[in-house]
Chain A
Amino acid sequence: MAKYGKDPRAIGALVRDAEVHRDVYIDPEVFELEMEHLFPNSWIYVGHASQLSKAGDFITANIGRQPVVASRHTDGSIHLFYNRCPHKGVKIASEPCGNTGKFFRCPYHAWSFKTDGSLLAIPLKKGYEGTGFTDTQASGGLSRIRNVVVYRDFIFARLSENGVGFEDYFGESLSTIDNMADRSPEGKLAVEAAPIRYMHTCNWKMLVENQTDTCHPMVAHESSAGTAIKVWQREQGESTEKPMAVQLYGPFMSPYEFYEQSGIRIWPNGHGHTGVANSIHSNYSDVEGYLDRMVAAYGEKRAHEILGEVRHNTVYFPNIMVKGAVQILRNFIPIAVDRTLVESWVYRLVGAPDKLYERALMYNRFINAPTSIVGHDDLEMYERAQEGLKSNGNQWVNLRRLYESNEEPDVTAVINGTSERQMRNQFHAWAKFITMDMDQGVEAAE
């Protein structure tokens, strides 16, 4: 039975000022509507241009549940298509990445396509003469996704033909991606390896919300970060320099006051970040030679400006999180209402010392891997929430921390770092983008 149909009012009613209805996490129908409306109407991360360094390189990805392929064409341009042969629907690319040479060739009947998606050749072409083939969608080759923007090598796409433009959608939030890329003396990032993949049996939004949930680390991660500190204090002996591992785990146990002061910045359209004044990434030890290279590249003042911006987690609505200071991007890929694939990518700062890449890789396996003790703490909470929300005791999830009745939607503001306002910001955007292209005439039909 369809509870929500395509009724924007019914869906809008799931989001109150400071509460959301549990159906946004547990109702399969709401999940279907997200796939059909929210993801196509939003700008979604596809991949990084460094994964497409040569002509013929391709990567596959999902936008919501839509399988897509991005490719580097002979003229250097990047193109994005639905991963589906126009003949009988066979997936054109079956691997996460590769090089297809001069053209894609469908493995079923050998239709071939240029790397810009256009139809190159069909065997026994004569058989289509006079059949009206040229009037079909198939004759156009691979179905293209036209709204693609490559911003500082980050490839984003919007499936819907119409909607909010890239610049308007992200606005000032792009400053986190800028900061991450600027941390390379050459202003360039490179993907060198596959991501760490981690399957979560929970709704994708729980993961996104958790990125700016600053009241959980000292509680949920006492078991991991707290134990790491305890063991180090006991075993350190004479050594005074904290090992990299302890530097990475330790700050998770920072007290509430630390997070309160470090602040949260929100932006329109559901984006926002923790760690405005400082963050858990502020006190890592210096890497020898790095500052010199930065100063040589940018000058003293600009280099310090770049390295002084140590944001914690930046949420790009709807489903990625970027850590500029540690060069990590986490992609929360929705699989089902209670299933989310998390892919955590590390970027190498081109021209920076290896030690920074080593640290980013270490952070990624400490925090974002299926073997990560911090990950175990978090996933346990998500799984319990996914189960707990089935309870009929209360239909609402409470997001009221530091709520003010005059909160404006879609604004830029810096607030107390323990506020749940970024979560409210996300749900405002959620309601806006999921209903954006729904038929507003439902009311009349009732």
Chain B
Amino acid sequence: MIRWDWIGRNLDDIAESLAEHLTLTVIAVLVGFALSFAASLLIHRRRWLYAPFTSVSGFLYTIPSLALFAFLVPFTGLSLLTAEIGLVSYTLLILIRNTVAGLDGVPAEVREAADGMGYSRSQRLWRVELPLALPVIVAGLRIATVTTIGLVMVTALIGQGGLGQLMLRGFNRQFPTMIYVGFVLSVALAVIADAALLLAQRALTPWSRGGVR
């Protein structure tokens, strides 16, 4: 049922799809993280911003991906930009929530000790609060990354899609092998990315006992 010979003959194609999938994911997560990080720091300073920021990102998060891409296409075309706008907007809610929660989770006495020792506000943020928030922030990154890897599939409909493209072609040609290859690789990519981020977090936070699950 799986045509191994086809796989053997098309390794280049498959690798290219995989690389494209990874690129789409990395761009989305990096841009999403940069935006969320800036938003979270703003929220950290001005608490009242939390509600508006999370309701906008929550709204985006609720709209089904296919609908979001459909909204964008008439304006930004079947392009990489369309794909990334959609992908990035799905990372925002998780990343903002976790970054803010991570900063909120810094124990009050630690914050007070930092003030009492004479840290300035930004020293406290960069040297104490962010390092301590890291496990929760990375937990958010893990979920955002895994979710994005899944959503990249859907961008096949707008001509992008990495492994999703592979699966869609397999579907159109009634050729299951392509579907299976795309599926297995995307799940493997998600699992590996998740594990890699977890390991990176463990390495960066030697003080936490085991860290977040």
Are A and B associated in one complex? no
Name B residues whose Cβ lies closer than 8 Å to a Cβ of A: none
